[in-house]
Amino acid sequence: MLRNGLFVVGVLLLTGCGSSTGPDVDLSSAFVTGPVEVTLQQGEDLLVPGTVLRVSLAAVAEDSRCPSDVVCVWEGNAKVELGIAAGSGPTSTLLLNTALEPRVAEWNGIRVTLVDVTPYPVSTQAILAGDYLVTLRLEREPQSP
């Protein structure tokens, strides 16, 4: 009976129930291996394989990237709004950019990097919100010596 109780406590801790996920908690051990790349569509909530981390793409909040068939003075920027959580714990919001800072964010010992936002704009084609795919890299934040 005690063995089953310990199993339940272990599962609850891994899923985030009964534990704090505030900024002072190091969740980098939630990774079995790393880095891990994931691709999300808008509205998708994904459990990162091999981890207890959930990431979601709330929206591509801005896309001012220069269309591929146009010559621009500036490359433009795509800004994405992400959600990240440990198990069923509270979701934190991260805003990342393709050309402006921040391009990388740290959350509870996890480094989140915006790798790509597709499709790339073309001047003659509108991109619908549901067409966007965002690729992220998640890895343990490097330890300082």
Q: What is the CATH number of the domain that holds 93?
A: 2.60.98
Lowest mean pLDDT across 27-41, 52-66, 103-117: 27-41
Q: What order do you get walking across the sheet with 133-140 strand by strand? A: 36-41, 133-140, 110-118, 104-107
Domain with 118, as residue range(s), is: 2-140
pLDDT above 90 covers a percentage of the chain that reads 63
Residue 64 lies in a domain: yes
**Angstrom distance (rounded) from CA 96 to CA 29:** 23
Helices first, then strands: H and E counts in the chain:
1, 8
Residue 144's pLDDT band (boundaries 50, 70, 90)?
low
Q: How many domains does the chain have?
A: 1
Residue 14's pLDDT band (boundaries 50, 70, 90)?
very low
Mean pLDDT calculated for residue range 59-70: 95
Residue 145 lies in a domain: no
Q: At residue 76, does pLDDT exceed 80?
A: yes
Q: At residue 5, does pLDDT exceed 50?
A: no
